[in-house]
Amino acid sequence: MTDPLYRSDPYMRESTARVMGHTDEGGVILTDALFYPTGGGQPGDSGWIDWDGTTLVIATTVKGPDGQSILVPSEPTRLPPVGAHVVQRLDWERRHKHMRVHTALHLLSVVIPLPVTGGSIGAGRGRLDFMMPEPPEDRDALEDELNRLIDCDLVVGESWITDDELEANPSLVKTMSVQPPRGSGRVRLVRIGEGADQVDLQPCGGTHVARTGEIGRVVFGKIENKGKQNRRVNIALDE
């Protein structure tokens, strides 16, 4: 099984590819997926496709029925023909912010060890919804602990387990609203920290930074009441 480029090398900003096909809605499917498709609370990548002196602006990327990345142009326009060789270029600044925020949210689930009922990632901001009937007693202490973990500059890595192994270890799944994809025979785990320094391990298909220090300082926003049992914790990169 070959991993898409956004997973095998999330720091790759540019790559060549060939056009495999078009969708009825005007999307483009390439042989090598550099662009991350919307999923797991993380937005799809944006950027550009270049071919024969022409540039196509990509507004977002969505997931096709077979899991492939479908690149969505910013407006209806001429598409590169099937079989054409193209260069795909990420909006790297936006992707990198997604990577930083996504990794920070993993750490937020460590700082607040409660079931996660929802989440969202943006370019510089993100949030998790927790099963938290009462607001936290010390918001500033939680922010300080999150930044302490970031400053530890922990290694972020991955490993794989089988579907059966995940079923046997349900505690690995922290997010109640989004279940990890099953059916391919294996599930990707994202690990933060190594050995005795490991602080988090959970299934995730998104993109992350290589070390937590790359996230930079994070600040808490509002902690919102989302019903009797839920609180929404908002964070932002302090750029």
Q: Does 3 fall in a domain? A: no
Based on the fold, state whether residues 121 and 55 are members of the same structural domain: no
Average the pLDDT over 221-230 and give the result. 91
103-159 pLDDT, tens digit per residue, is: 999 999 999 999 999 999 999 999 999 999 998 989 999 999 999 999 999 999 998
How many Cβ atoms are within 10 Å of 129's Cβ, its own excluded? 22
What pLDDT score was predicted for residue 176? 58
Average the pLDDT over 37-53 and give the result. 96
Average the pLDDT over 226-238 and give the result. 93
The percent of residues above 90 in pLDDT, for the chain, comes to 79
Measured CA distances, 201 to 104, 155, 167 (Å): 13, 12, 15
Instruction: Indicate the pLDDT class of residue 161, thresholds 50, 70 and 90.
Output: confident
171-182 pLDDT, tens digit per residue, is: 777 775 566 665
What pLDDT score was predicted for residue 63? 95
User: What is the 3-state secondary structure of 39-96?
Assistant: ECCECCCCEEEEECCEEEEEEEEEECCCCCEEEEECCCCCCCCCCCEEEEEECHHHHH
Based on the fold, state whether residues 123 and 55 are members of the same structural domain: no
Rounded Cα distance, 93 and 45, in Å: 11
65-94 pLDDT, tens digit per residue, is: 888 999 999 999 999 999 999 999 999 999
Residues spanned by the domain of 83:
14-90
Of 90, 106, 135, which residue sits at a domain end? 90
Based on the fold, state whether residues 187 and 137 are members of the same structural domain: yes
Rounded Cα distance, 21 and 172, in Å: 37
Q: Does 6 fall in a domain? A: no
Higher-scoring residue by pLDDT: 231, 167? 231
Q: Does 9 fall in a domain? A: no
Of 39, 61, 90, which residue sits at a domain end? 90
What pLDDT score was predicted for residue 218? 98
For 189, residues 6+ apart whose C-beta sits below 8 A from its C-beta are 158, 159, 160, 161, 172, 201, 202, 203, 204
Based on the fold, state whether residues 108 and 226 are members of the same structural domain: yes
pTM value?
0.93
Instruction: Return the beta strands (E) in 64-215 as ranges.
Output: 69-73, 85-90, 116-121, 125-131, 156-162, 186-192, 200-203
For 165-170, which contacts have Cβ atoms below 8 Å and span 24 or more sequence positions?
166/203
What token pair was written down for 170? Answer: 């349900």
